[in-house]
Structure 1
Amino acid sequence: MAARRSGRKVQDLRTENRAAILRELYFEGPTSRQELGPATGLSAGSVSTLVADLVAENLVQEAGSIESEGGRPRILLRIVPRSGYLIGVDVGETRLRIELFDLALAELARVETPLELKGHPVDLVAGHIADGIGEVLATGGVAAEQLLGVGIGVPGIVAQEADGAVVHGQTIGWDAVPLEALLRRTCQLPSHVGFFVDNGAMTLGQAEMWFGAGRGAKDAVVVLFGSGVGACVVAGGAPRSVEWGHLTVHVQGRRCRCGAVGCLEAYAGAEALLERWQEAGGRPPGGGASLGGAQEEVDLTSMLAAAYPADDAQRPDATAVAVLEETAEYLGAGLSGLINLFRPERILVGGWAGLQLGDRFLDTVRQHVPKYALAYPAERVDLRLGRLGPDAVTVGAATLPLAAFFARGGRSAAPARVAERPAWQTTLRQRALP
């Protein structure tokens, strides 16, 4: 028994060492064997053996050489981009976006479908995802067997249950939806292809921390500003989503779509922002947020054009300006709560609505932060827009299976196993049959 335990531990250590090399090559490469040792803490012999295995498995390849002082040129190594493929899915409230990536996260194909998620039957959403996965695989010329996994970012709280991820999306009417199990049945991918479901703000946060404006920060907050608002808190490099949009900012305030009153989202989400503009006399071209779906994006663009006209001769719409300034103050107060609680180095604002609102709006938000936050953490936080654009949730979703791939040391996932009953239960059940 001890030998088995010892063998398992040796295998785990080898997996961890392979993972360390793959991560270093992925994020810092191309890198030489000589540099991998100090970077990973592994001996030269261990690096040589592990790299030889990874090269033999076609996960790592040579990528040229560099001159070294007084010695032979050093061979550079890098991850083989086409050694595996990933799919990222953004289940947004205004559209469904599905992208196929190679291992270097170069986009190979995409599908976008306008969608009003609230009230849309979950099985139809799963069908859209299955169709989109099939389409990007066909367009990219990639076989389903080559997939390392499918990552999905969704609105709401995601609970990891025994049978897979379950989504509690109160604002969109998803009550304990077993999304992972539903996708497994609907998509019919090979059993080794895993589904990784998490909150969209979390996937946005991971993307910005890995590749965008969050790189180099250990403590940060990444805000997703779309139809609603959410946030990902990164502490010590580990991201987790928080339901920031449902913190109370106005006692006995507006009714939020979650059912509570006074939530930040009732004032600061794009849906609420457009409703407030319409209530104040504004005239969205599509009739307001009540139409939902992709129309929200059109209406928000119109509101911003009215408030900040491109033509200097045109007067700004005073109603739109007033609603936007009030929204900026609510956001400033909401961000101040995050600053006081977590003292982040950086706060990044992303999501389609956040990027539309842009730097001009963010400058107004910054002016309100000192009124609501403690001076010490507020003076030390850097508030800026995210860098990865409207695809950030999709890219972040693809990082979920990528992280699992690294954790396995680059090995393929084992096929999903069907839970089996203990032998004695099966025997007794057979005896009980007529």
Structure 2
Amino acid sequence: MAKRIGRTVRDLRRENRTAVLQRLYFDGPMSRLALGSAAGLSSGSVSNVVAELLTEGLVEEAGSLGADGGRPRTLVRVAADRGRLIGVDVGETRVRVELFDLSMTELARAERPLPGHGRRSYDVGVVAGHILDGIAEVLGTGPGAGASLGPSWGPGTGVGAGGGAGAGELLGIGIGVPGIVEHTADGPLVHGQTIGWDAVPLERLLRASGRLPAQVPLFTDNGAKTLGQAEMWFGGGRGARSAVVVLFGSGVGACVVGDELERGRALEWGHLTVRVRGRRCRCGARGCLEAYAGAEALLARWREEGGRPPRGADEEAALTAMLAAAHPADGGAPDPVAARVLEETAEYLGAGLADLINLFQPERILVGGWAGLQLGARFLESVRAHALDHSLRHPAARVRVALGRLGPDAVTVGAATLPLAAFFARGGYRAPAGSPAPAPAWRAALGARMAGTGPAVGGRAE
């Protein structure tokens, strides 16, 4: 019978655990009665699942709720300290690694800069070394590590009979990378044309180092896509049925999420042609949006027209100086070159956003990334005005353009949600040792997100 319909009792049990964990994460604390209604399960099924999860320590009691004329109802919630997640942002100026608990509260971080100005080295071995060193540091097992954070690698302790996560167990590592990620039978390949990566098997290289145990799942995806996932779960995308999340850093990228694309899709938006026979882009083509609107190109245009970034400043410091020159805090005369280049950049970005509005007709467009957030306070109104000027009236009338809410760490937050989504999809069970990591489980987790709600276990939701 089970073979005929394709689902076993074990499958049904896992699906029920997934439904309960997701409902508690996004909507809890909740009583068992409310949980059954929200998860679409019978009272008996909810009681059985909650009892299992309580035994395994994956959920915990969280007080009680008074009931008119009846007994108070005990509330339960996901136990935030029951597992650990690592998010990695392979950016274009640095590699950032962060350790989180299940509520996405940051426990530790490590950063490794990518040296150089204008022409950085993205040697795969160097980047992989930064990732491995950063992971060791945040887990308290490598040079520069702080105080002990409890169990690092390994299964942890206190595992229930059902095989759920142990206390403090590392549930997985998510990595956001620049470029296109191709998921193959042999693992993901990273095609990062602007940084010189051609079919790089990053996960395989990390595994081959011998510094990562086989039982710790790895997940790799495009950095703009992980930014989009973070904003949809915890930030400015909550409650929206469709959104485009833009990453504006050294280059530019985007992620589109909607009913037809609920898994999210990374867009190489920065390589949209905005001027035929225009400036040469890092990808080798001419006239790409990134050749005008990425922070690297923006600063290059300022220098070409006589601007003088501070000597030896990195990209972020140089952009800060450019903004200060265009809008002096002391009320002095603005640098007309910096102001003109910024305004031209706002128009290019606005025209690029207009294409996204016309193509996808989203409810929201969120601008994130370190450069977008740094310039946002003075930049966004101009970008929004240009976007609406270049858009068709109907989709322009319903879109809201705003800054992302999660700050410059949003890519690492989103990367950490990749193993979290897989953990939900497994029903909270530990991944089998040596098993290949599944593709990012966007569908199940995004399907669980209730409009306007964030994770109920605390952390980054506002």
TM-score above 0.5, yes or no = yes
Q: Secondary structure at the match of 1:238?
A: coil
Matched, 1:164 2:187: yes
Aligned residue in 1 for 2:275: 250
Q: Secondary structure at the match of 2:330?
A: coil
Q: 2:297 aligns with which of 272, 284, 290?
A: 272
What is the alpha-carbon distance in structure 1 between the residues aligned to residue 388 and residue 170 of structure 2? Answer: 48
Residue pair 1:347, 1:383 contacting (<8 A) in 2 also? yes
Q: Given the two structures, how large is their TM-score scaled by the length of structure 2? A: 0.86
Matched, 1:412 2:412: no
Aligned residue in 2 for 1:357: 375
Alignment of 1:148-163 (within 5 A): 148-163=171-186
1:321-379 C-alpha deviation (Å, 9 max, x unpaired): 00000000000100000000000000000000001001320001111123211010011
Q: 2:390 aligns with which of 345, 350, 372?
A: 372
Letter in 2 for 1:216: G
Alignment of 1:156-235 (within 5 A): 156-186=179-209, 188-235=211-258
Aligned residue in 2 for 1:324: 342
Alignment of 1:4-403 (within 5 A): 4=3, 8-116=7-115, 118-138=120-140, 139=146, 140-145=149-154, 146-186=169-209, 188-236=211-259, 237-286=262-311, 295-312=314-331, 314-403=332-421
Q: Aligned residues, how many?
A: 410
Letter in 1 for 2:93: T
What is the alpha-carbon distance in structure 2 between the residues aligned to residue 78 and residue 321 of structure 1? Answer: 51
Q: Given the two structures, how large is their TM-score scaled by the length of structure 1? A: 0.92
Distance 1:76 1:187, change over 3 A: farther
Distance 1:70 1:166, change over 3 A: same
What is the alpha-carbon distance in structure 1 between the residues aligned to residue 291 and residue 324 of structure 2? Answer: 23
What is the alpha-carbon distance in structure 1 between the residues aligned to residue 359 and residue 3 of structure 2? Answer: 46
1:157-203 C-alpha deviation (Å, 9 max, x unpaired): 00111121110000000111001111112252222211100000000
Displacement, 1:13?
Answer: 2.3
What is the alpha-carbon distance in structure 1 between the residues aligned to residue 381 and residue 174 of structure 2? Answer: 34
Q: Percent identity?
A: 68
1:190-220 C-alpha deviation (Å, 9 max, x unpaired): 2221110000000000000000011000100
User: In terms of mean alpha carbon deviation, does 140-149 or 74-83 score higher?
Assistant: 140-149
Residue pair 2:2, 2:8 contacting (<8 A) in 1 also? no
Displacement, 1:102?
Answer: 1.0
Q: Secondary structure at the match of 1:284?
A: coil
User: In terms of mean alpha carbon deviation, does 14-23 or 198-207 score higher?
Assistant: 14-23
Larger helix share, 1 or 2 = 1
Distance 1:370 1:105, change over 3 A: closer
Residue pair 2:215, 2:435 contacting (<8 A) in 1 also? no
Residue pair 2:175, 2:220 contacting (<8 A) in 1 also? yes
1:50-108 C-alpha deviation (Å, 9 max, x unpaired): 11111111111111111111111010101111211110000001111101111111111
In structure 2, the gaps of 5 or more residues are 141-145, 155-168, 437-462
- The higher radius of gyration belongs to 1
In structure 1, the gaps of 5 or more residues are 288-293, 419-434
Residue pair 1:98, 1:394 contacting (<8 A) in 2 also? yes
Tell me which of the two structures has the higher relative contact order, counting C-alpha pairs closer than 8 angstroms and 6 or more residues apart: 2
User: In terms of mean alpha carbon deviation, does 177-186 or 116-125 score higher?
Assistant: 116-125
Letter in 2 for 1:210: W
Residue pair 1:233, 1:242 contacting (<8 A) in 2 also? yes
Q: Secondary structure at the match of 2:139?
A: helix
Distance 1:258 1:7, change over 3 A: closer
